[in-house]
Structure 1
Amino acid sequence: MKPKTDVLIVGAGPTGLVLALWLHHQGVNVHIFDQAEAPAKDSRAIITARIGEDLLALGYKLPATNLWVHTQHKAHISLQDFGRKLTPYPFMLSAPQDDHERMLEKRLNDVGIHVERGSTLQGFVDHGSRITATLFREADGSSTTHEASYIVGCDGAHSAVRHTIGAKFEGETYKPLFYIADVEGKSDKHFNGEGNVVFTDDTFNLIVPYNKAGHARLVGIMVPDNDGHDRESPEREHEITFEDVRPRIMQVMDIDITKVNWFSTYRSHHRVADRFRSNRAFLVGDAAHIHSPVGGQGMNTGIMDSINLAWKLATVLRQTKMTEEAKHRLLESYESERRSFAMMIVKSTDTGFMTLTSKGFFPHILRNWLIPYLVPLLLRFDFTRTRIFRGASQLICNYRGSSLCETAQGTVQPGDRLPWVEINEVDNFSTLRDVCWQLHIYGESLPRVDKWAQEMSVRVFTFNWDDQYAKAGLIKDAVYLLRPDQYIAGIFEGPSVEARLDEYFATRGFYLDRD
């Protein structure tokens, strides 16, 4: 008998909510719950990439950022059209996580799905063909049992799902203690509607505005002294208040903080689970990987996990013709694709964090001289700006070498994200709003390809050839097979395209037509 729920989602943060929405849009029945009684009311993480249309109304486009060394202004870096020719959203958008969560949950409610609040996962049992999970409600002490085909842990760094499957969470804890504050204030220098990075000795402060009116996120660190104690906090960490860090902030920044809406301290870690899957259980977001907040990559990485997993779960749930082995291989590709990327993100953010906080002569020179003077110089070149934007927005992510990708040569290869190209205000991303397989042809289509697409219920889109496509690395008249997550699965040329398309799906054991 089929379980009542297709996918049980543990945790209703951004990753869990995105997963629920993507699964629902593909016809998958979901149940999502969270231990919190209500959505978050503090800003916590800030989104600066992977922008969606709905976020534009919530967020604030950062026009520029400034670099300071102590109280001296060293550089002004414009962020206007930073990612020009790479995406429909070539800017950095600042949006508080709590606003993002409320927007996502409202969209979920609009389609009739509501988060079960105040429930925690006591445990679950994987029976091989299904799972049964026990949920506990602290409010009344009751327990309920849920049966589902799969369970996904979007339940953060202390994931109950990760503990249940016995996945190791190896890594380290950074010595510096982070503090985060949601503040309002006045300052012609630092509350100017632009980002500000302030280097001071072995520490740094980051100001990211939400708007032009002096509402911002303030991030900083307290570096331990040689005996391992925090300079500003001889007492226990949980007793630290904003008043403990205010003197240091006022010493390095000319700001008048009029209101503190929220303040918290935490230890940052860099850890990656040794596996993201155990049969019918999966780990997503912070449950699978956590890293330094440098670069603001955490939430974006988790959301991409959800998108990658969603279409694969939907495929194995909808297609009854698939063999168990084919289902296993498809679901295994989630871990192989996303874990390697998580390892890369952890490594890069760890390097960035150590650069910003390490003691010694070279780190001091790097922070006080090389970064403030060299970075603005390098950013005058389009190549450097492109590299930085691709990294910050995670456009750099690719799945080359994945079992789901054909092999090919060239600038753009299977496993890459489809390049964005806009010609006469018409762009090739306008077709990607639906979660489905697609064919893109830049040039002329062949009747037999159109016939194959019609028989397989696959949408095919043909774009009149233009030199702009060649500049983006696309091949004239080639057939691009796009996965539901907008990554290229294969690039096919020649007289036997339809036969090679059939071979692609046959060798992987799944089908395009819905059962």
Structure 2
Amino acid sequence: MPETEVLIAGAGPSGLVLALWLHVQGVKIRIIDQAEGPAPNSRALAVHARILELYRQLDLADELIECGYQLPATNVWVNGSHRAHINLRQFGTELTPYPYLLTFPQDEHEHVLEKRLNSFGIFVERKKKLQKFVDNGSSITATLESANGDESTCEAAYIVGCDGAHSVVRHGIEAKYEGDTYVPLFYIADIVAEKYSSPLFNGEAHLTFVDETFNLILPYVEERHVRLIGTTIPKTAGNQQTDTSEPHHEVTFEDVLPEIKKTTKIEIQKVNWFSTYRSHHRVAEKFRSNRAFLVGDAAHIHSPVGGQGMNTGIMDAINLAWKLATAIKQPSMTEEAKNALLDTYEPERRSFALDVVGATDHGFTILTSPGFFPHILRAWVIPYLIPIVTRFQAVRSQIFRRGSQLVCSYRGNNMLNQTTQGSETVQPGDRLPWVTTEQSDNFSTLHDICWQIHVYGDSRTELEEWCKTKHIQLNIFEWNDKHGNNGFKKGAAYLLRPDQYIAGIFEGNDLGSQLDEYFSTRGLLC
């Protein structure tokens, strides 16, 4: 037997989440990272509603909300002129218990996750690098290198690469990393200013445009503590645009400060840190090869537009965790059933990653491209049209769904989805819609990582007996018109996967038989 069941390479947010979700499901793990600790100047700041929903499974959501900052509004500036103010508080009020954008620095986010992991007696093995691994068919053998150069091996049932854009695991499975590098150079700064010393330090987000560059200011912790993200286009000595294949020359905060001041007067009290980096848009050609998997930046990387990268990686981890746990903890499953289950990871998550990368790339191109049409979009369409269209709740809801990753769905030809016909609003593969009434909140049952069934309206004795026999949670909610308005069918049984997505919708007679057929035909034991 392998010494551990899952070896996780990389202790960023996705690696830590994967370790937590595997551990609470009884999986033996090791997690390694070549760094001494979380990077103090981490880039990711946004934590979206879908992540907070899933974090309820380990009681992490409240802690992040208490430490984070809820953005009340965003503003658009063009060449120093204020063009738009958009209230963010009304965007997701009917969609989720967390109808806002939470800002919380990635390094602090990682500390919260690692502290929870430590509370279980599991510690990240720091300054330990994955050198290579060999897939033996029934296990993997990894070669690890410590900081002093000593090498050791680790035998594991599976390996998961959460090891970033230069992933050793991705190279090991020979997965191409297709995409490109953006020409503009990104910079990021952690800034403290006197409260209200500038219109940009009022506790709200600010998006500013100057020619083909932009700045995004996001407050966190408090109004005067902000993260400044921007772009600049470095020039070579001959004043030519920098080749993205070459290392960029050093850019300092003083270099970009004049560009920032073109937008608006800014009075900075302190710059805690400043760094620059090249951004890419890439997706690996495959996310799995037998016993090796890719998660997070190892599988896909995005522009910072929309703050999607870290959130997408965390959702990768939660999607994969319950599938690995099922394959490992149910030894009576056939190898064919285990592989069929694990095979669902790649199409579900790669399809969504392609959508996110495509959307963020399109958005970034609009924000930074030269030319007449992009200039019109930045100077006139975005500032004036968006405040008008966001007066309509349907538009606000759609923007929030996409930006907060509530839109993520696994519909379609998927072995986990019950075969269904029709075009109902709610279908197998969808995230469970959130509905709260005076009597109940249907998300209140989603604290456990397990299969469960929801019934909206009266339940049948047969279903109750089946759930009791199979040890499946059954949650019955008194019917309310809100349930119907959100697409639920009265009296139907909604089978939920451990990651809170709908696996099947069962109606009519013999519900127990229908459910037995669902599990047996997929080799899933309940």
TM-score, normalised to structure 1, is 0.96
Where in structure 2 are the equivalents of 1:1-20 lying within 5 Å? 2-20=1-19
Where in structure 2 are the equivalents of 1:373-452 lying within 5 Å? 373-401=384-412, 402-408=414-420, 409=422, 410-424=424-438, 426-452=440-466
Please give the alpha-carbon distance, in whole angstroms, between the structure 2 residues aligned to 1:446 and 1:276. Answer: 41
In the superposition, relative to structure 1, how do residues 27 and 229 fare at CA in structure 2: closer, same or farther (>3 Å)? Answer: farther
Please give the alpha-carbon distance, in whole angstroms, between the structure 2 residues aligned to 1:361 and 1:424. Answer: 53
Please give the alpha-carbon distance, in whole angstroms, between the structure 2 residues aligned to 1:385 and 1:367. Answer: 20
Please give the alpha-carbon distance, in whole angstroms, between the structure 2 residues aligned to 1:127 and 1:163. Answer: 17
1:225, CA displacement in angstroms?
6.5
1:141, CA displacement in angstroms?
1.7
1:238, CA displacement in angstroms?
4.7
Which is further off, 67-76 or 238-247? 238-247
Of residues 477, 499, 515, the one that matches 2:491 is 477
8 Å contact from structure 2 (residues 210, 262) kept in 1:
no
Please give the alpha-carbon distance, in whole angstroms, between the structure 2 residues aligned to 1:199 and 1:48. Answer: 24
Please give the alpha-carbon distance, in whole angstroms, between the structure 1 residues aligned to 2:28 and 2:240. Answer: 50
Identify the residue that residue 116 of structure 2 maps to in structure 1: 107
Identify the residue that residue 347 of structure 1 maps to in structure 2: 358
1:212, CA displacement in angstroms?
3.4
Please give the alpha-carbon distance, in whole angstroms, between the structure 2 residues aligned to 1:385 and 1:345. Answer: 19
CA RMSD of aligned residues (A): 1.6
1:54, CA displacement in angstroms?
2.0
8 Å contact from structure 2 (residues 418, 504) kept in 1:
yes
In the superposition, relative to structure 1, how do residues 449 and 289 fare at CA in structure 2: closer, same or farther (>3 Å)? Answer: same
8 Å contact from structure 2 (residues 204, 223) kept in 1:
no
Which is further off, 52-61 or 312-321? 52-61
Quick one: which amino acid aligns to residue 316 of structure 1? A
Of residues 177, 180, 186, the one that matches 2:188 is 180
8 Å contact from structure 1 (residues 156, 285) kept in 2:
yes
In the superposition, relative to structure 1, how do residues 343 and 228 fare at CA in structure 2: closer, same or farther (>3 Å)? Answer: farther
8 Å contact from structure 1 (residues 59, 94) kept in 2:
yes
Secondary structure of the residue that 2:488 maps to in structure 1?
Answer: coil
8 Å contact from structure 1 (residues 269, 290) kept in 2:
yes
8 Å contact from structure 1 (residues 153, 284) kept in 2:
yes
Identify the residue that residue 56 of structure 2 maps to in structure 1: none
Please give the alpha-carbon distance, in whole angstroms, between the structure 1 residues aligned to 2:258 and 2:370. Answer: 22
Of residues 499, 509, 514, the one that matches 2:513 is 499
Quick one: which amino acid aligns to residue 198 of structure 1? T
8 Å contact from structure 1 (residues 407, 413) kept in 2:
no
8 Å contact from structure 2 (residues 210, 259) kept in 1:
no
Please give the alpha-carbon distance, in whole angstroms, between the structure 1 residues aligned to 2:184 and 2:323. Answer: 39
1:236, CA displacement in angstroms?
6.2
Alignment pair present for 1:154 and 2:162 = yes
8 Å contact from structure 2 (residues 104, 221) kept in 1:
no
Please give the alpha-carbon distance, in whole angstroms, between the structure 1 residues aligned to 2:42 and 2:75. Answer: 22
Identify the residue that residue 320 of structure 2 maps to in structure 1: 309
1:168, CA displacement in angstroms?
0.5
Please give the alpha-carbon distance, in whole angstroms, between the structure 2 residues aligned to 1:225 and 1:119. Answer: 38
Of residues 344, 364, 380, the one that matches 2:375 is 364
1:497, CA displacement in angstroms?
1.4
8 Å contact from structure 1 (residues 66, 194) kept in 2:
yes
Of residues 469, 489, 510, the one that matches 1:455 is 469
In the superposition, relative to structure 1, how do residues 122 and 225 fare at CA in structure 2: closer, same or farther (>3 Å)? Answer: closer
Secondary structure of the residue that 1:453 maps to in structure 2?
Answer: helix
8 Å contact from structure 1 (residues 238, 265) kept in 2:
no
Quick one: which amino acid aligns to residue 386 of structure 1? S
Alignment pair present for 1:207 and 2:206 = no
Alignment pair present for 1:282 and 2:293 = yes
8 Å contact from structure 1 (residues 192, 212) kept in 2:
no
Alignment pair present for 1:74 and 2:88 = no
1:249, CA displacement in angstroms?
1.3
> Unaligned regions of 5+ residues in structure 2, if any?
53-60
1:39, CA displacement in angstroms?
2.2
Alignment pair present for 1:196 and 2:206 = yes
Quick one: which amino acid aligns to residue 416 of structure 2? L
In the superposition, relative to structure 1, how do residues 486 and 116 fare at CA in structure 2: closer, same or farther (>3 Å)? Answer: same
Secondary structure of the residue that 2:32 maps to in structure 1?
Answer: strand
Query: Percent of counterpart pairs with the same letter?
Result: 60
Secondary structure of the residue that 1:257 maps to in structure 2?
Answer: coil
Identify the residue that residue 54 of structure 1 maps to in structure 2: 63
Please give the alpha-carbon distance, in whole angstroms, between the structure 2 residues aligned to 1:199 and 1:471. Answer: 41
Secondary structure of the residue that 1:470 maps to in structure 2?
Answer: helix
Where in structure 2 are the equivalents of 1:198-237 lying within 5 Å? 198-223=208-233, 229-230=240-241, 237=248
Q: What is the CA deviation profile of residues 135-176 of structure 1, one whole-angstrom value per residue up to 9, with x for unaligned ones? A: 1012x2211111110000000000000011111101111111
Alignment pair present for 1:25 and 2:34 = no
TM-score, normalised to structure 2, is 0.94
Please give the alpha-carbon distance, in whole angstroms, between the structure 1 residues aligned to 2:240 and 2:468. Answer: 67
Q: What is the CA deviation profile of residues 263-294 of structure 1, one whole-angstrom value per residue up to 9, with x for unaligned ones? A: 11111111110000010000000000011111
1:23, CA displacement in angstroms?
0.4
Quick one: which amino acid aligns to residue 26 of structure 2? G
Identify the residue that residue 57 of structure 2 maps to in structure 1: none
1:202, CA displacement in angstroms?
1.1
Of residues 112, 120, 145, the one that matches 2:129 is 120
Which is further off, 404-413 or 365-374? 404-413
Please give the alpha-carbon distance, in whole angstroms, between the structure 1 residues aligned to 2:362 and 2:334. Answer: 43
In the superposition, relative to structure 1, how do residues 228 and 238 fare at CA in structure 2: closer, same or farther (>3 Å)? Answer: closer
In the superposition, relative to structure 1, how do residues 224 and 40 fare at CA in structure 2: closer, same or farther (>3 Å)? Answer: closer
